[in-house]
Copies of this chain bind each other. A is one copy, B any other.
Amino acid sequence: MKISVHRAPGTRDFLPEEMALRRYVRKVIEETFELYGFQPLETPAFERLDVLTGKYGEEADRLIFKIMKRGEELEAAKLSGDLADLGLRYDLTVPLARVVAMNRGELTFPFKRYQIQPVWRAERQQKGRYREFVQCDVDIVGTTSLAADAEIIALTDHVLHRLGIPGYRIHLNHRKLLQAIAQAASIPDERFLEMCVTIDKADKIGLNGVWEELANKGFITEQIVRLKEMLSAPHDPNVALQHIQPFLEKLESGQIALRETTAFLSHLQDMNVPRERVSLTLHLARGLDYYTGPIFETLVETPRIGSITGGGRYDNLIGMFCGEAIPAVGTSLGIERIIEVMRELKLFGEISEGSARVLVAVFSPETENEALKIAAELRRAGVPTEVFLESNKKLGKQFAYADKKRIPYVIVAGPDEISQGVVTLKNLQTGEQKVVDRAQIIEELNQRFRLE
Contacts and interface: CB of A to CB of B under 8 A. Distances in A.
Given A5-B98, A112-B386, A372 B147 contact: yes
A354 B39 contact: yes
Contact of A389 (B16, B113, B148): B148
A2 B376 contact: no
Contact of A2 (B48, B272, B323, B405): B323
A8 B47 contact: yes
Number of copies: 2
B37 A353 contact: no
Contact of A108 (B120, B151, B405): B405
Contact of A271 (B6, B45, B143, B375): B375
Interface residues of A, number: 105
A46 B7 CA distance: 9
A125 to B, nearest CB: 12
Contacts of A405: 37, 108
- Classify the interface of chain A: helix, strand, loop or mixed: mixed
A405 B38 CA distance: 11
Contact of A8 (B3, B48, B107, B140): B48
24 contacts: A2-B320, A6-B48, A6-B51, A7-B48, A13-B102, A13-B103, A16-B39, A16-B113, A23-B40, A36-B379, A36-B385, A37-B405, A45-B118, A45-B120, A65-B70, A67-B68, A143-B389, A147-B372, A151-B387, A154-B376, A266-B369, A270-B370, A272-B376, A272-B377
Contacts of A1: 320, 323
A354 B112 CA distance: 11
A24 to B, nearest CB: 12
Contact of A267 (B15, B150, B272, B372): B372
B40 A372 contact: no
Interface in A375-423: 375-377, 379-380, 382-387, 389-391, 401, 404-405, 407
A101 interface: yes
